[in-house]
Structure 1
């Protein structure tokens, strides 16, 4: 636990982690035990594991073909600003040349990025700062593609409930915008449930549906790769409602029975991880990519 807290390797209770780090700082631990310097520091969330572990595999696969060194730092989830900040402090001790980051998007974290005088590549998600590159999906285009593929379906299921994250997630919002702007004229959004990602997410979704939206929607748009939790929520309520949205290809078939997953956009997160390392290698070599973005196309599953 102490090692994981000191080096942000696996999630540790944030309060305990903070106490361990403060104690280490007060006794001069980091001055006496320097974190080995690396070329690339990778900062990723741990949850949901089935998604981010694929990004990690892609990164490690690509590293095998290179001569650069990396260190991986993990924080709990994209809802946890405090743990992310602690994770960034650990990562900065590695004095990396390039930082590959899946960021938490808050005013505090944006200040941290702006103050970090290093190359930054955002992976899968981003915040709006001038100097960073990005590797991930074209979320707006994904949203358009999903709505267009489901055009006839949405005419028959016109009342749409959106389920999304409370965390400010630029890509989820872009995806939602592309989807909403491409709907048939007869379709309409009847509401949006916004919740933090945690262990009780399925139960929270079920409570929201039961208290506010029973009988008010014909289908669900899952903006944030939460089909597993949405399906569990529907099962709790004994509802069979067709869903569309953004999902992970490993999870979708397993949970399609209860949520009746009509269509999904599959992000190739492992490939995104691979491409982020290729991007980092270019930056280390002093090569600036045109547009500073690498788009990894999503796949429509219908």
Structure 2
């Protein structure tokens, strides 16, 4: 079984790999083998690697975190129709014929972030959302969820949408820095929470916006303890990695049908008080 996923952010994928390893330890006697392909965060490179994996005829299936589900849809459909099983995790290609998806509901993720910012601010509520430069399905869904929540509470200010290039994060964020002190809350929808926090720490606490983002790392933990990051939304990457192995194992080795097309992981709000339970 081939697993294809991005390198960025490294701290997140290390946790996913822990989950993959845990499941493999439990089923190693069955002869179920996994090869991991970590690739640059580039859809065209991902397509190239996927085609090489399929054309090699060395693998009985593919588990993939699609960089862009739309661009991979035809490849997924064509090969599933030929009998080559493909499963998605963390990111999805929902319109494709993939056999299952393991991961978060990113619309709900964005909505939850909006809920947190609204409840944690008590001023005029000028918000911003920071996403990756590329409009991947994950970024689009998080933004839609965020917008939807703000509309539901009759949010009357136009929030700012800021995009960053994660290959050039420092320079991109530096260009945006002057806008941060004018905001009441920032939602980092991409994997740059610690980088944004690093810029915000120099702003006086009286002017510093509430900062909410995703996932956990040592740096994010430290920023939670110093109250630069107010809250982060976790999605259990270890469990995602573990289940992403279990589903194709049960399907291919135990010949169990895939009963659920989607396995949505729960979203967990992490603050300074409970952050220690999420740091591995």
TM-score, structure 2 length as denominator?
Answer: 0.81
Please state if 1:123 is matched with 2:89.
yes
Structure 2 regions of 5+ residues with no counterpart? 272-280
Corresponding residue of 2:231: 263
Residues 282 and 161 of structure 1: CA distance in aligned 2, closer, same or farther (over 3 Å): same
Corresponding residue of 2:209: 241
Residues 157 and 119 of structure 1: CA distance in aligned 2, closer, same or farther (over 3 Å): farther
Deviations 1:100-154 (A, max 9, x none): 1011216543332233232111110012333111001122233333433443324
Corresponding residue of 1:19: none
- What is the CA distance between 1:65 and its match in structure 2? 0.9
Pairs aligned (count): 258
Residues 176 and 113 of structure 1: CA distance in aligned 2, closer, same or farther (over 3 Å): same
Q: 1:6-21 residue pairs with structure 2 within 5 A?
A: none
CA distance in 2, matches of 1:203, 1:259: 24
Please state if 1:75 is matched with 2:39.
yes
Which residue of 224, 228, 241 corresponds with 1:273? Answer: 241
Residues 190 and 209 of structure 1: CA distance in aligned 2, closer, same or farther (over 3 Å): farther
- What is the CA distance between 1:297 and its match in structure 2? 0.9
Q: 1:51-90 residue pairs with structure 2 within 5 A?
A: 51-66=12-27, 67=30, 68-77=32-41, 80-90=42-52
Corresponding residue of 2:141: 174
Segment drifting more, 159-168 vs 235-244:
235-244
TM-score, structure 1 length as denominator?
Answer: 0.76
Corresponding residue of 1:21: none
Corresponding residue of 1:152: 119
Deviations 1:43-65 (A, max 9, x none): 01112111111111211210111
CA distance in 2, matches of 1:170, 1:267: 17
Please state if 1:192 is matched with 2:164.
no
What RMSD over aligned residues (CA atoms) do the two structures have, in Å? Answer: 2.6
- What is the CA distance between 1:261 and its match in structure 2? 1.3
**Contact between 1:165 and 1:197, CA under 8 Å: does it hold in 2?**
yes
Relative contact order (alpha carbons < 8 A, sep ≥ 6): 1 or 2 greater? 2
Structure 1 regions of 5+ residues with no counterpart? 1-39
Segment drifting more, 120-129 vs 150-159:
150-159
CA distance in 2, matches of 1:50, 1:82: 23
Deviations 1:240-282 (A, max 9, x none): 3321122325442123477721222112111100011111112
CA distance in 1, matches of 2:218, 2:175: 27
SS at match of 1:116: helix
Which residue of 131, 148, 158 corresponds with 1:164? Answer: 131
- What is the CA distance between 1:214 and its match in structure 2? 5.6
